[in-house]
């Protein structure tokens, strides 16, 4: 299995910039199409897709499918980058970010949430039960407990605890995002009725500053879904994705007729253009589904994987990339 850690090890940075014409390409994923269809970031997206597929294959809604799909990863006690078992911030707290969106523009988000097992369901609660789009920290937790009836919980993940102890030895304050220390599940789907939804959930950057929020819960950055454009989500260096309003950018490019793969590539190139002098420390990946149900994906570096499920496909793909 290609893990994020292996990706880092396999990523050979070639100093300086590489002209885009000569950039390496991996085996193609293009022209994968489906309806219903569900696509998720990384290898762990495969089991999450299978969970979502139980709903999609029985003509359930894309919204229910993406929520249930990512919940599987959120509650995985071995997971180090999503949910309460994820790597903590500098002060030892796992703080969680998530958002959910429908094709009609309805959306909800939670940021800096602690001790709640399913941030994605809190995000859905924000969307469905409040007049707001985003709740943060204490307020989000109170809403989860008081309105949604959730419990305060903690997961002890020995591996995350061990990694934190190791990190504490140096406690290096290095606000550069290191490609070893983050991961997110972003899931996008189109259901049998042609309706779109997406969900994105993460424990964010490991050992981040207490209170840091990345792209994953930011509508337009980590996720964007529009019934007139398609669905997009991202993973990687949240600050860079926010700076280009990444998922919204990809959706707008698709709205204007670009293929999902080309749109994801264009967004990745924009990250590259801004950060080319420090690109070895930057990984960003996008996945997208067009209105026709076609899948696209692109990453800055080799090693970005994503998972696709249709009635005939249940597979992990290597995303195309700009830099070997
Ligand atoms: N995008 C996430 C964040 O910046 C991390 C990741 O996807 O790896 O919090």
Return the closest-CA partner of residue 286 out of 272, 311, 266. Answer: 266
215 CB under 6 A from ligand 1? yes
235 CB under 6 A from ligand 1? yes
266 catalytic residue (yes or no): no
pLDDT at 172: 77
pLDDT at 158: 94
Mutate to test the pocket of ligand 1, among 222, 267, 283, 305 (most ligand atoms within 8 A of CB): 222
Our count of domains for the chain comes to 1
- Alpha carbons 35 and 253: distance in angstroms, whole number: 21
Domain span at residue 241? 32-323
Residue 5 lies in a domain: no
pLDDT at 100: 99
Residue 226's domain is classified under what CATH number?
Answer: 3.60.20.30
pLDDT at 3: 35
299 CB under 6 A from ligand 1? no
pLDDT at 29: 56
pLDDT at 181: 46
Residue 25 lies in a domain: no
Residue 27 lies in a domain: no
Regions of the chain where pLDDT drops below 50:
1-28, 175, 177-181
CA 200, 201, 203, 208 dihedral sign is: positive
For ligand 1, atom 4, which residue shows the shortest CA distance?
Answer: 238
Residue 11 lies in a domain: no
How many helical (H) and strand (E) elements, i.e. helices and strands, does the chain have? 9, 13
Residue 22 lies in a domain: no
Taking the CA of residue 177 as reference, the ligand 1 atom at the shortest distance is 4
User: For the chain, what is the mean pLDDT?
Assistant: 89
Helix, strand or coil, per DSSP, at residue 291:
coil
pLDDT at 33: 87
Length reported for the chain: 324
Residue 186 lies in a domain: yes
The single residue of 41, 184, 201, 305 carrying the catalytic annotation is 184
DSSP assignment letter at 215 = S
Residue 114 lies in a domain: yes
Residue 7 lies in a domain: no
pLDDT at 20: 32
Mutate to test the pocket of ligand 1, among 238, 246, 271, 304 (most ligand atoms within 8 A of CB): 238
């Amino acid at each position: 299995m290609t893990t994020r850690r292996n990706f880092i090890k396999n990523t050979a940075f070639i100093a300086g910039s590489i002209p885009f014409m000569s950039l390496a390409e991996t085996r193609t994923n293009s022209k994968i199409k489906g309806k219903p269809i569900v696509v998720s970031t990384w290898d762990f997206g495969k089991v999450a897709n299978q969970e979502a597929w139980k709903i999609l294959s029985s003509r359930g809604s894309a919204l229910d499918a993406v929520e249930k799909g990512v919940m599987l990863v959120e509650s995985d006690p071995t997971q180090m980058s999503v949910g309460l078992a994820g790597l903590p911030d500098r002060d030892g707290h796992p703080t969680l970010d998530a958002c959910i969106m429908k094709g009609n523009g309805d959306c909800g988000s939670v940021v800096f949430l602690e001790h709640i097992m399913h941030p994605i369901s809190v995000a859905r609660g924000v969307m469905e039960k409040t007049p707001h789009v985003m709740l943060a920290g204490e307020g989000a937790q109170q809403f989860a407990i008081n309105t949604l009836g959730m419990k305060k919980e903690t997961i002890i993940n020995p591996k995350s605890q061990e990694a934190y102890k190791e990190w504490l030895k140096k406690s290096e304050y290095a606000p550069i995002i290191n490609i070893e220390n983050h991961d997110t599940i972003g899931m996008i789907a189109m259901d049998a009725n042609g309706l779109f939804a997406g969900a994105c959930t993460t424990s964010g950057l490991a050992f981040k500053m207490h209170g840091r929020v990345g792209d994953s819960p930011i509508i337009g950055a980590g996720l964007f879904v529009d019934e007139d454009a398609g669905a997009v989500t991202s993973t990687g260096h949240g600050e860079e994705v926010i700076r280009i309003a990444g998922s919204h950018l990809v959706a707008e490019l698709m709205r204007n007729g670009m293929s999902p793969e080309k749109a994801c590539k264009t967004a990745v190139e924009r990250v590259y253009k801004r950060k080319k002098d420090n690109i070895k420390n930057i990984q960003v990946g996008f996945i997208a589904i067009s209105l026709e149900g076609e899948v696209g994906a692109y990453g800055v570096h080799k090693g970005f994987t994503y998972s696709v499920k249709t009635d005939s496909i249940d597979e992990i793909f290597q995303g195309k990339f700009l830099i070997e």
